[in-house]
A and B are shown apart, each in its own frame.
Chain A
Amino acid sequence: MEGLKVAKANLKVYIHPSKSNQVSRAVLRELSSLLFTYNEIFDGVVLAYDVNSLDPCAKILPGINPYIGVKLKVNLLLFSPKPDTLLEGKVVKLTQESIHLVVLGFSSAIIAEKDIREEFLCKTKRGQEVYASRTNKRHVIKVGTVIRFLVKSFDEEILHVYGSLIPEHTGSIYWLDKNLEVVSHNDRSEKKRKSEGEQIMLQQHAVNGELSSLDIVQKRKNSKKLKHQEES
């Protein structure tokens, strides 16, 4: 699955003086406020954070409220699906008009009928609606199936993905993996690597993390005001 990356961020968190006796808690609280919301600066949705180091020296801002600026280095796990990347999600609802999915347990996705390739046909089996492939009898998508699909667009506010099942290499993961073993060797190695789990991907991203390392101190400063309001 694509769309996940690890970023190293140098942050400066401004803490209200009233929280000066519990700085680390206040920092974590502030970081938690980033979770599950799209952040333009990070260009993604923060899914998890890991504080690497906390600068023991903090700068006190002169002013009526002497906010404390704590510097810290954080590893962030970001979710940023871009158009034409492949995501994986679990089918939660299936109708003739659309397939509804949940990606990573929090983001909803929909694949409308017009974005499902003609290979698939909606049938009713034992009272349940399923999408079955015309060419491969075993390739079936039903509620509970994990499928791989292509991102068409991403609504950043609601974290809603619009997907598509048009390309050939999309569909039920179970079937794709099995099928590719038999059909194409080239493809297999690629697909297998993908299916071996997010962990490898994540590690790779972490290794290549330098490119995503962001120094966003400057930008954070700009958004400081907003933060103050939130805090107070």
Chain B
Amino acid sequence: MGRVQVGDKAEFSRMENGDFSDSELIHHFRGVLVAVSAGDRENYDELVGYLHPKGNLNPDEVAILVTTLKALSGAASYIDSVHHEALLFAVSRMSLWNYGTDVMDALLELIISLAASNGKYIDWCLEMLVKHFVPPYYLLDSLKQENGIDRKTKVLSRVHAALKEIADLVPLAPLRLSPIVVQKMPSVFSKEPEIVMYVENMLKLESGAIGEIIGSTMLPALVDRLLDLDVEIGWDGILQEDGKCIFEMELEDFTEFGDDENCDSMPPSELLNRRKLQGNLVVDKVDSLMVLTFLHLESCQSSGRLAEVFDVLLGSFQKTVLNAYKSKFTQFVMFYASALDPEGCGVKFAMVLTDMFCRDVNPPITRMSAVAYLASYLSRAKFLSAALVTNILQSLVNWCYAYCKSHNFDMNPRAHQVFYSGCQAVMYILCFRLRSLMDIPRLKLQLLNMPMEAIWKHKLSPLKVCLPTVVVEFLRQAKAAQFFMMSETFVFNDMLESDFSKAFGGMDRLDMFFPFDPCLLKKSESYIRPHFVRWSKVRTTYDDDDDNEVSDSGSEASDDDFVDRNAMDMIDDDMMVSVEGLDFTPDLNKMSITPKNSLKYGFETRCTRMPARIRPSTSPESL
């Protein structure tokens, strides 16, 4: 043994001096590897010893390591998964993040040779590369420093180049890569920088050379993970637990709002909810991932492949997001993608949702969800043309009208939930859009010709079932716009209250699900904002007089108005009536997904507390 050892060491020292040619070295290594199967492990063990990670390497050790790795890649086809387990294990423990560029290149060369030389190693090699998407735990913090960033680019550019090279050599490798990438994705509980970095790499893969093959799995996987995180937040629960102190907090916060410059344009109640989410680690993760996705979508747009990416997203939206119970943030990916290409993606999204609602084969829950998305989308998306909105309204109204004709029954919220959700969607869209549609004569005519009155008057009485706040606001605007007028009296004057809406939608309460309510994520919201219609900025049919006053200060006043509306989200449906009694304008306080907690807390306490606490911020207009 000793002799061989000495010989081997001598060889390694010769190697350092450059006495060996590359091919001689490779031959020697082959011999060493082959000898293992014959039972001679001494040289092999020494070889493995060189590969085991040590602390700081001196230049000589680095040189030996590089030479060893290079020679091994020459002998890659001799590496056997049974006999050379120790060698493979040692290689698998090496991390690119710990070495300089020389070792990195040599290690990657070995990995590529292994992948190409034997089909058995392809998964192992891909996993090894995917593992490098995220640095070791102890390096995560240092990545923000300058040399950390430098190292990050060095490692990741090499990893992606290696993946590309493997894909060139083994054309089917990307097919095996995508399940590995999805499987190795950090869990919901992982740290923010970790998951963010991993997703960065996924998106890089998606837009990279092999994105064509694996792109269709990367984005859905990302959306699914976003949804996992989204569900994890469960902020319905948070708010209900803290329900008692919501209003106290709001009061305390009012003083701070003035100081916070960034939040000037934001209604305090939204800020309040945002603050509730602050400090929640999961929320930060979702926020960062959303921003990453938005940036990726932007880059897709500039490279002209947004349409194909959108198709992938749309597929995953239909499969998962749409049916997820009250998804809170994930849907904004679709919103943003639509905003980037209103003519193409924006229209397509609306059409697909309409189609999903109108098709009988879809289960009722999917159809209700689709129409809720549609209503919220058409109302909130600034980038959609009035003509498109009218056309979709037309098809919704037509569908509802046909339904009325074929179902001559009395009101039954459970049995006709799809119909009621359709009606509510029509009303909700009109709350936001009526004024702008009425300004265009052609569309006004189209609107007036829609058989809406017949629907509202039908025995199914949608006005009594749909969410009262929506109904009230709709009727108010309709009245102001002189809709449904018969001999100078408004037809629906007595239709302003309802107890039935609770039954509609069942436990899921899809009737009050408005997916594109203001996004509460701080960073993502700034991307959404330019494309987003806030209720406070909507010009309604009844505020004609304010036309000239719509100045900066005017809009701020109406922002404050929105405060109340949003704050009143906490109130039960029935509350609205009494709030109205207390000289509050009836409004779209329900146009938010903010959960209500009326079941838990008494009606009366809230009723007395609400106005008092809200008043300090209310605008003169609404008082």
Contacts and interface: CB of A to CB of B under 8 A. Distances in A.
Interface of A: 21, 36, 92-93, 95-98, 100, 102, 105-108, 110, 112, 155, 157-160
Contact of B119 (A36, A93, A100, A160): A160
Contact of A97 (B74, B118, B122, B169): B74
B169 A92 contact: yes
A107 B119 contact: no
A36 to B, nearest CB: 7
A92 B164 CA distance: 13
A105 B167 CA distance: 11
A106 B116 contact: no
Contacts of B75: 97
Contact of A106 (B23, B113, B122, B171): B171
B172 A36 contact: yes
Contacts of B120: 155, 158
Given A106-B171, A157-B119, A159-B119, 19 more contacts: A36-B172, A36-B175, A93-B116, A93-B169, A96-B26, A97-B75, A97-B76, A97-B77, A97-B113, A98-B117, A100-B116, A105-B171, A107-B171, A107-B172, A110-B117, A110-B118, A155-B119, A158-B119, A158-B176
Given A92-B168, A105-B171, A106-B171, A98 B77 contact: yes
Contact of B116 (A21, A96, A110, A159): A110
Contacts of B116: 93, 98, 100, 108, 110
Contacts of B172: 36, 106-108, 158-159
Contacts of A96: 23, 26, 74
A100 B168 CA distance: 10
Contacts of A159: 119, 172
Q: Is the interface of B mostly helix, strand, loop or mixed?
A: helix
27 contacts: A92-B169, A93-B116, A93-B169, A95-B74, A96-B23, A96-B26, A97-B26, A98-B116, A100-B116, A100-B169, A102-B169, A102-B171, A106-B171, A106-B172, A108-B116, A108-B169, A108-B172, A110-B77, A110-B116, A110-B117, A112-B117, A158-B120, A158-B176, A159-B119, A160-B118, A160-B122, A160-B170
B26 A108 contact: no
Nearest to B122: A158
B77 A112 contact: yes
Nearest to A112: B77
B361 interface: yes
Interface string B100-123: 000000000000010011111010
A108 B115 CA distance: 11
A102 B169 CA distance: 7
A106 B213 CA distance: 12
Contacts of A155: 119-120
A95 B169 CA distance: 13
A95 B22 CA distance: 12
A96 B113 CA distance: 12
A127 to B, nearest CB: 16
Interface in B175-193: 175-176
A97 B116 CA distance: 12
A98 B75 CA distance: 10
B170 A108 contact: yes
Contacts of A112: 77, 117
A92 to B, nearest CB: 6
Contacts of B26: 96-97
A209 to B, nearest CB: 27
Contacts of B169: 92-93, 100, 102, 108
Nearest to A21: B361
A92 B176 CA distance: 20
A38 B124 CA distance: 21
Contacts of A92: 168-169
Interface string B73-92: 01111000000000000000
Interface in B12-47: 23, 26
Contacts of B122: 158, 160
Contacts of A100: 116, 169
Contacts of A158: 119-120, 122, 170, 172, 176
A36 B175 CA distance: 10
9 smallest CB-CB distances across A and B, nearest first, come from A158-B119, A160-B119, A155-B119, A108-B170, A106-B171, A112-B77, A97-B74, A100-B169, A100-B116
A93 B164 CA distance: 13
A130 B600 CA distance: 79
A116 B256 CA distance: 78
B590 to A, nearest CB: 34
Nearest to A113: B77
Contacts of B76: 97
A107 B176 CA distance: 13
A153 B547 CA distance: 81
A92 B116 CA distance: 11
Nearest to B26: A97
A168 B602 CA distance: 93
Contacts of B171: 102, 105-108
B21 to A, nearest CB: 11
A208 B122 CA distance: 37
Which has the most chain B C-beta neighbours within 10 Å: A106, A108, A159?
A: A108
A68 to B, nearest CB: 16
B110 to A, nearest CB: 12
A100 B75 CA distance: 15
Contacts of B361: 21
Nearest to B359: A21
Contacts of A93: 116, 168-169
Nearest to A106: B171
A77 to B, nearest CB: 17
A157 B118 CA distance: 12
Contacts of B117: 98, 110, 112
A21 B360 CA distance: 12
A16 to B, nearest CB: 14
A215 to B, nearest CB: 30
B384 to A, nearest CB: 30
A148 B76 CA distance: 24
Contacts of A110: 77, 116-118
A80 B304 CA distance: 39
A195 to B, nearest CB: 24
